[in-house]
Amino acid sequence: MSGVDGFLPAWAWVLLEDYVERTLERGGNPAPTGHDTLLQLGRLWPDLACTILVQEPWMGTIRFKRLARLRGDAMRPFLDDPEGFLRERFGGGKFKINLHHGMHFVSTKNFKPPGPPRWAELPEVAEE
């Protein structure tokens, strides 16, 4: 499936597809149709979240500073234009995006938009 019929951009679907299909298989549907998959994504959607982190120098090494946690529909602006979203809100840098479903890690992707590191002055978001 590419982009799940406009529900998600294709790049994001690649990160979620295996997880969605595994949840269907665990639920007793080892050969889901496209419709089954779209319905399952809709069921999972409210509990899906992305955490935006940025790599920063720290005590002679690096660490990841947590900048934002977006859930469900709050992820849409990021998913529609990830580099633009990051650049506009946080500036440039080496960003790591972790996707989660509830407490389950789903996938990760890195982005490196150019620009000044406006994120450096922002406070770290507390872990949930």
| DSSP calls for the chain | --STTTTS-HHHHHHHHHHHHHHHHHTT-SS--HHHHHHHHHHHGGGEEEEEEEEEEETTEEEEEEEEEEEGGGGHHHHH-HHHHHHHHH-SS-EEEEEEETTEEEEEEEE---S--GGGGSPPPPP-
**Structural domain includes residue 5:** no
**Structural domain includes residue 128:** no
Residue 37: which domain range? 10-121
**Structural domain includes residue 101:** yes
**Structural domain includes residue 4:** no
- Check residue 4 and give its pLDDT: 60
Q: How many domains does the chain have?
A: 1
**Structural domain includes residue 86:** yes
- Check residue 6 and give its pLDDT: 74
pLDDT at 1 over 90: no
This model's pTM is above 0.75: yes
**Structural domain includes residue 1:** no
**Structural domain includes residue 26:** yes
**Structural domain includes residue 3:** no
